[in-house]
Structure 1
Amino acid sequence: MDLVRKVRQTVKILINASKNMKVSREVDVFNELAFNFSMESTDYSTQRQMGTFTIQYLISPKQDSTNTAPSITYDQIISAFDAGKAQAFKNAGLILVSYSYEQSDILVDPTTGSVSLTFGINIQVTERTRT
């Protein structure tokens, strides 16, 4: 399951998870909701693992703020992912076969009026056999 570990670490780097994925009263809520994957064996001149991953996130404004929307936008996250994906996966020893983004839902709390966003990143990767 080394492929799963590498993908999880790489995606967290790409979306700046160490900065963005915190839950407290001082910052927006940015949380991983799901990390689903399926694995298969493939043969591109050598036997290797290939994985298909769907990773879902939730972003909500911080609880004690008067903001009705998160301070970071879907476009900012996807732009950061786009800008760094080729190098990040290469550095992790992975080949990015395909990717797609889903802006799933915009949820509005009827009491506070605050807006939360859920979205997903779908990727298919395989192990790099040469460096």
Structure 2
Amino acid sequence: MELVTKVRRTMKELINAGKNLKTSRDVDVFTQIAFDYNLSAMTYGNNRKSGTFAIQYLVSPKPDSTNTAPVITYDQIITKFESERAQAFKDEGLILLSCSYEQSDIVADPVTGSVSLSFTINISVTERTR
């Protein structure tokens, strides 16, 4: 399960969890809503693990604001993730094998037109052996 712990830590760092994953009436809502994974043994001699992860996020505008969309955009989040992912996974002793994205808009309130952004980052990761 060390692989799962390392991936969680890396994703929180990349998505700027310490700063942006807060919920209050003063800021947009930006939260991880799901962390699904599937693990397997990659090589049996040294017990190297690999995993496929689907991490879902939700971004919504500040509840009492007049904004109809969140201040931070999907492109900003993904651009930051893409520019820093290689080094972040390497620093954790992980190899990022593949990465894909899914995005959708959810109309949260048909009266105000408030739109929330939901997206998923799908990754395949293995442990570095050296």
Give the TM bin, normalised by the shorter chain: over 0.9
CA-to-aligned-CA distance 1:75-120 (integer Å, 9 cap, x gap) = 00000000000000000110101111111x2112202211101000
Give distance in 1, aligned partners of 2:93 and 2:17: 20
Give distance in 1, aligned partners of 2:3 and 2:46: 16
Compute the TM-score of the two structures, normalised by the length of structure 2.
0.95
Please report the RMSD computed on the Cα atoms of aligned residues, expressed in angstroms.
1.3
Q: Which residue of 1 aligns with 2:75?
A: 75
- SS for the counterpart of 1:75 is helix
Question: Percent sequence identity over matched residues?
Answer: 64
Give distance in 1, aligned partners of 2:57 and 2:111: 23
What amino acid maps onto 2:115 in structure 1?
V
- SS for the counterpart of 1:55 is strand
Give distance in 1, aligned partners of 2:44 and 2:102: 29
Compute the TM-score of the two structures, normalised by the length of structure 1.
0.94
- The CA deviation at 1:66 is 1.1
Residue ranges of structure 1 left out of the alignment (5+ in a row): none
Give distance in 2, aligned partners of 1:44 and 1:101: 30
Runs ≥4 residues deviating over 2 A: 44-47
- The CA deviation at 1:33 is 1.0
Residue ranges of structure 2 left out of the alignment (5+ in a row): none
Q: Which residue of 1 aligns with 2:120?
A: 120
Aligned length: 129
